[in-house]
Amino acid sequence: MFSAVFYEAFDEEEKILRKVLPKGYRYIFTWKTIQESGHKLPPAKIISTRTQSKFPLEWADRLDAIITRSTGYDHVSDYLKQTGSDIDAAYLPEYAARAVAEQALIMWTALLRNLTIQKKSFETFFRDGLTGREIRNRRITVIGVGRIGSEIVDIAHGLQMKILGVDIRPNPDMKRKYDLKYVTLKEGLKNADIAVCALPLTDITRGMLDYNALKSMPENSIFINVGRGEVSPSPDLLKLLNEEVLGGIGLDVYDFEKELSAVLRDGQKLSNLKSEARKSVSAALKLMKDPRALLTPHNAFNTQESVVRKSQRTAENLAAYLKTGKFLTPIIVQ
């Protein structure tokens, strides 16, 4: 019997995991999700995934523990609530905050300077319609000033941008260090050339940045989401772009992300999706083809440094669990 199985482990991650995981145990690694693996039963009592795997209900009484190699863990807590099981679970806080923040920087910079259109224009060397905007003194609102949001504020401060923060729990340290002004969501959006979402998914944040919220942004503004896709539904973003309320959109996360991945990677037909998922995935596919949108495959976390941190913290959690039966960073189901 294997000690643990690691799903969704891409090559670079697997190489590091093999070096740092506790010795003397047997592991399985696969780049596939649980559903892609075809496993009818769990190959080990401990499983580790990222965010794309769907946990089979019938596995609940066959598992001892789940480690999600992600900071977000609602997919795990939802499973534990749904099954009512007492499976031990862990997540990995903080490992990729800087990496994700830098991805947001890359996105808003590229969109301000029309880089996708510039690349296409190289074929003719015409420069009509390519005029961009500079970053310094640009107004940016960071929505969710937690670990990732704090790093975004740090980057924006270094670039001499005008920063506003939106958070239900304003951090006095951020106020002191960066002279950060916290405002309401409405005020923050109204005064943003760039709005960056770094929110987690909760009952409160789900759908928070929908069409009605974002339509108050200035004309030709830019919206970036590196938090959770469910906060800003893709159909609403497509509508805002088509109506030219937004001049640019950068996304690394998506509502109905599993279904989008299945369509793009596995050839799943749109017609086979449920109505709401089909509408969302269809909108994301249209955004993908629009030069005013920059979409990446939930890859903002993926730097050499963050993959090392993630692998080390996964190994530390597993070692602690194997030794004591407790995780270092457990998921507490409310």
Strands 88-90, 181-182: parallel, antiparallel or unpaired by DSSP?
Answer: unpaired
Q: Cα(first)–Cα(last) distance of the chain, in Å?
A: 33
C-alpha triplet 220, 221, 226: angle, nearest 5°: 140
- pTM assigned to the model: 0.91
**Are 130 and 118 contacting, i.e. CB atoms less than 8 angstroms apart?**
yes
Residue that is written with structure tokens 């506790």 in the block: 22
CATH code of residue 133: 3.40.50.720
Confidence tier at 334 by pLDDT (50, 70, 90): confident
- Considering the domain architecture, whether residues 53 and 184 belong to the same structural domain is answered as no
What residues make up the domain containing 33? 2-95+304-324
- pLDDT tops 90 at residue 293: yes
**Are 195 and 237 contacting, i.e. CB atoms less than 8 angstroms apart?**
no
- Considering the domain architecture, whether residues 154 and 6 belong to the same structural domain is answered as no
Q: How much of the chain is helix, strand and coil, in % rounded to 5?
A: 45, 15, 40
Lowest mean pLDDT among 53-57, 179-183, 278-282, 330-334: 330-334
- pLDDT tops 80 at residue 119: yes
Q: And the tokens for 16?
A: 């590091």
Average pLDDT over residues 251-255: 97
Residue that is written with structure tokens 């009509």 in the block: 128
Average pLDDT, the chain: 96
- Considering the domain architecture, whether residues 233 and 254 belong to the same structural domain is answered as yes
Lowest mean pLDDT among 91-95, 137-141, 232-236: 91-95
Mapped onto helix, strand or coil, the DSSP state of residue 89 is strand
Work out the angle between the directed axes of helices 275-288 and 234-242 (0-180°, nearest 10). 40
DSSP letter at 330?
B
In a domain, 50, yes or no: yes
- Considering the domain architecture, whether residues 87 and 103 belong to the same structural domain is answered as no
In a domain, 332, yes or no: no
In a domain, 330, yes or no: no
- Considering the domain architecture, whether residues 81 and 140 belong to the same structural domain is answered as no
Confidence tier at 1 by pLDDT (50, 70, 90): confident
- Considering the domain architecture, whether residues 86 and 104 belong to the same structural domain is answered as no
Number of domains making up the chain: 2
In a domain, 333, yes or no: no
Residue 266, pLDDT score = 84
**Are 81 and 57 contacting, i.e. CB atoms less than 8 angstroms apart?**
no
Average pLDDT over residues 272-291: 96
Residue that is written with structure tokens 């990732």 in the block: 148
In a domain, 58, yes or no: yes
Rounded CA-CA distance 331/85 in Å is 13
- Considering the domain architecture, whether residues 135 and 281 belong to the same structural domain is answered as yes
- Considering the domain architecture, whether residues 190 and 121 belong to the same structural domain is answered as yes
What are the beta bridge partners of residue 166? 143
Confidence tier at 271 by pLDDT (50, 70, 90): very high
